[in-house]
Amino acid sequence: MRISRTFTDLRIWPRRRRMVAAGIAAAALTALTLASGSVAVAGGSLMFPGAVWAYAVTVVGAGLIGLVVASYFDAPIGGEATRCDVRWPVLGA
């Protein structure tokens, strides 16, 4: 698949799906940042004790999580078929 076609598919997403992707990405970024200890408060000031590349990976990962979750909303074939395909291997059934 060509990259330009991928971006075309993202451009035609409905507004609801884009908002879901942004919201989930923001929530995932917050959760990943807090869980990894990438932000610390020492002496009353905010510190970022990690490597620069780790922050970039966290942002990209959160964006990808948002895109995957948003793909279940308003899916052309219906989200139930996609969720079923993903759910059963994860649950081990």
The pLDDT averaged over each successive group of 10 residues in the chain (93 residues) is 70 89 96 85 81 88 91 70 58 54
Q: Tell me, what's the pLDDT at 46?
A: 78
How far the first Cα of the chain sits from its last, in Å, is: 31
Q: What's the pTM?
A: 0.72
Of 71, 91, 90, the C-alpha closest to 82 is: 71
Q: Tell me, what's the pLDDT at 36?
A: 84
Measured CA angle at 44 (ends 39, 47), to 5 deg: 25
Question: Helix, strand or coil for residue 42?
Answer: strand
Question: Whole-angstrom Cα distance, residue 78 to residue 93?
Answer: 22
Q: Tell me, what's the pLDDT at 27?
A: 97
